[in-house]
Amino acid sequence: MNSANRIIRYYIIPFCIITVGAVIAAFALEEFLVPFTILDGGVVGVSMILSKYVPVKLGVLTVIINIPFLFLGYKRLGRLFLAKSVYAMLVFSFMLGVFEDMEALTDKDILVVVFGGVLLGIGVGLILHNGGCLDGTETVALLISRKLNLSVGQIILGFNIVIYGVAGMLFGLDRALYSLLTYFITSKVIDIVEHGMEQAKSVMIITDRGEEIADAIHTQLGRTCTSMEGRGRISSGTKTVLYCVITRIEVSTLRKIIHDMDGSAFVAISDVTEIVGSHIKKMKEPAGPEPVKEAASDGTDGGAK
């Protein structure tokens, strides 16, 4: 793949899709959810609550509150993640202002919940699938999950239950219940767009450059790999087989790492339904040959909850 095709595939196309996703998400909020005080979860939900009481537009609040989470995301996933997320949030914020003065499409609560949730899920799912995010709580949940025996999904649900509880006290129980229903619809649609039901993904990489790829995965994602030796049935050549478990928002970064280092590598990515054992990120220097060998001995390093 030449440099022009690479730029189109890994930069131009993802940013175009992120733009579409941000527009759809903003449309869902302003045309369905916001007029009827039905809240999204996470940072957007907090921003929707605050926008009722402070003279700051919803889009601006969303960007401001997301700033510390973006910093955490940058430390975790690098500059490309930061660039995509900032771009998504700016487009989202701008489009919220564009749609703000438009009349709501329906005043039926059930239609608002269903179509608002579906469209919001499509928009957010497109952004996540292309390596960005609109809501920084997922990054925080990833960090907390390393300290507690809880999945990312459970932590995000906990955040949102608190948000919806506050919404129930401020706007009425029915608004909180409608918001919770919208959240479940949105989550399901995001999973469909993301082509996976779980936060965790297992990855098997067959490559000639196992050591370099394992180093890069550890340096950029903080994941160590189990390293094995494999032999081709037809070619009889020796290959390195790497195995690691990552989270869904790290898949885009992993693809780029592998493409940059070994475009001919064979990669299989699968859903993980359950993880048993200790899978806490080790804070150490970038992995070299010995850390990778150590990971192979117990098979527990490098997992993601």
pLDDT tens-digit readout, 61-93: 998 998 888 877 676 667 888 889 889 999 999
Token pair of 162, please? 């608190």
**Domain containing residue 271:** 200-298
pLDDT digits (tens, 9 = 90+) for 280-299: 444 333 333 343 333 333 44
CA distance 157 to 289: 39
The rounded mean pLDDT for the chain is 82
Examine residue 243 and state whether it is found in any structural domain, yes or no: yes
Instruction: Verify that 149 and 45 share a domain, yes or no.
Output: yes
Nearest to 29 by CA among 67, 6, 54, 62: 62
Amino acid, res. 299: G
User: Which residues make beta-bridge pairs with 238?
Assistant: 231
| % of the chain exceeding 70 in pLDDT | 83
Contact criterion met (CB below 8 Å) for 85 and 16: no
Q: Shortest CA distance to 133 belongs to which of 111, 154, 152?
A: 152
Q: How far is CA 94 from CA 36, 61, 100, 107, 121, in A?
A: 21, 12, 10, 24, 19
Confidence of residue 304 (pLDDT cuts 50, 70, 90): very low
As a whole number of angstroms, the distance between CA 216 and CA 221 comes to 8
Measured in whole angstroms, how far is the alpha carbon of residue 14 from the centre of its chain? 14
Asked whether residue 84 falls in the same domain as residue 12, the answer is yes
Across the range 240-262, mean pLDDT stands at 88
| 99-113 confidence digits (pLDDT tens) | 988 888 888 989 999
Least confident of 98-107, 143-152, 182-191, 243-252: 143-152
Q: Is residue 304 part of a domain?
A: no
Is 155 within a domain?
A: yes
Q: Rounded to an integer, what is the distance from CA 297 to the centroid of its chain?
A: 30
pLDDT tens track for 48-65:
999 989 999 898 999 899
Give pLDDT, residue 278: 53
Helices (H), 130-172: 137-145, 152-171
Pick the last residue of a domain from 138, 169, 194.
194
Statement to judge: residues 176 and 240 lie in one domain: no
Q: How many domains does the chain have?
A: 2
